[in-house]
Amino acid sequence: MSLRCRWSLAAATAAALTGVGLTGSAADEEFPALVKRLQGEKPKFADRQQKLLAERYDLADRAAKGATMSRGKPVQGGVRVKLPAGTTWESLAAMTPDQVREKGAWPAGFLPLPHPHHEAGGMIFPRFAIDDTKKQTDRDVSRFDLDHDFDAHKHLLPEFPAAIFLTTRPDLGDVSKGQLVTSDNFERLFKHILNPKQLEGLRLLVTPFPQQQFNATEDRRSLKASLGVACFDCHANGHTNAATHTVGDIRPNEHRHRIDTPSLRGVNVQRLFGSQRALKTVEDFTEFEQRAAYFDGIPADAARKGTNVLDRGSQVHFMGEFQALLDFPPAPKLDVFGKLDPAKATDSEKRGQDVFFGKGRCATCHIPPYYTDNQMHNLKVERFFKEVTVNGRKASADGPIKTFPLRGIKDSPPYLHDDRCLTLDDTVEFFNLVLGLKLTAEEKADLVAFLLAL
């Protein structure tokens, strides 16, 4: 069997396993031809995604009054999900899930959001992260076939680079010094505040390793052969830069969720990892990311593209240890129970807290002080709509999803596992419908004020 022929077979096997047709693979195609073809198709899929975003959301740059993220980026305000013609948020809340489904009245922005090019999938980084990484490390993590769909709407993404707070040194505040932490500067920034073991963990977290789209095979999506990606290329500064991906666990491809990079802040207090995978430790997830998630859950691809098997007793442990130092950002209005200090909170925030723990029932799942119950819950959002395939993603039942913690939540838009909610106001409308709460306009506004204080 010639080398070329064996290679095609591997690509075909991978395609069969992923459920992706051979259109996105390099079978029987030389690399320059693959690049040319996918670059030719790129504008078509980019336009399709931008059209979808514009149909579903108000994407305007409109800051919420007086609300900023930890290093000062304005938080976007207002409900951004568009209503179907002839409905209001009140009229929707008055209907049963069956009525909403029968009338086709479920706002499209509350359907699963497809990956920027769902059929192709894979890791995709926002432009500002690509540029800063290149400037510091000479590594290029751009794809020739695809750009991040929020590049033109970066006001809706987390601040970059994000602040870093350490559980061990709260006295220092943000230790990032406003810089993106990479292989270039981590030693300089951290050598005096970490022990050598933690520093080695951080080194591994900023070191690139091969991944499905970024590697040295001709079945890659980087123009030049790539050393791979680093954990912190997505979990930038231990937080998130909203790099996105299609989840590895689900087949066929149309059912795979778009997944937003979760913040690693506060992994120390959490007990389940991954939106659905429910791995039990940070160490398990660290190992799993590189062995499986990096290669879409295809062991053959991991072997072919060069998986970096980490040693559990030393490397994984060190990486886990550093991750467990990443604290939530300060919330000056919260007391030691994680509730509002009445002397510091506004009336609206206090009313919002009452809704959160009372009529809104949010605290059933989001329990203080970190506002998570470390559980999975099936919100059964599919009660509200008929199955429909949009841009290659089949909107159907999502199944149980992890209760993400709400401490520091204003720092990590867009929201939900797949970025479908752009603002906290959107998440309040979402839960108002999904939980059948019938909140008033004032209660919703107060709830948002409370979420901003967490």
Which parts of this chain interact with ligand HEC (CB under 6 A)?
Answer: 123, 229, 231, 233-235, 243, 245, 247, 259, 261-262, 264, 267, 273-277, 282, 285-286, 289-290, 319, 360-362, 364-366, 377, 379, 401, 403-404, 406, 409, 412, 415-417, 424, 427-428, 431, 435, 447
Q: Which is nearer to ligand HEC, 195 or 364 (CB)?
A: 364
Q: Which is nearer to ligand HEC, 33 or 397 (CB)?
A: 397
Per-residue tokens: 425: 């106001």
Q: How far is the CB of 9 from ligand HEC (least distance, A)?
A: 28
Q: How far is the CB of 260 from ligand HEC (least distance, A)?
A: 6
Q: Which amino acid is at 420?
A: R
Q: Which is nearer to ligand HEC, 7 or 421 (CB)?
A: 421
Q: Which is nearer to ligand HEC, 100 or 421 (CB)?
A: 421
- Give 415's strand partners: 421
- Give 262's strand partners: none
Which 8-state DSSP code applies to residue 84?
A: P
Q: How far is the CB of 412 from ligand HEC (least distance, A)?
A: 6
Provide the CB-side half-sphere exposure for 406 (13 A, CA): 26
**Alpha-carbon distance 306 to 172, whole Å?**
39
Q: How far is the CB of 5 from ligand HEC (least distance, A)?
A: 32
Backbone angles phi, psi at 401, to 5 degrees: -130, 150
Q: How far is the CB of 438 from ligand HEC (least distance, A)?
A: 11
The answer to whether residues 245 and 261 touch, using CB atoms and an 8 Å cutoff, is: yes
Q: Which is nearer to ligand HEC, 29 or 382 (CB)?
A: 382
- Residue 78: closest CA among 440, 454, 422: 422
Q: Which is nearer to ligand HEC, 105 or 111 (CB)?
A: 111
The answer to whether residues 235 and 48 touch, using CB atoms and an 8 Å cutoff, is: no
C-beta neighbour count of 393 within 10 angstroms: 24
342 exposure class (CB count in 10 Å sphere: 0-12, 13-18, 19+): exposed
Q: How far is the CB of 234 from ligand HEC (least distance, A)?
A: 3
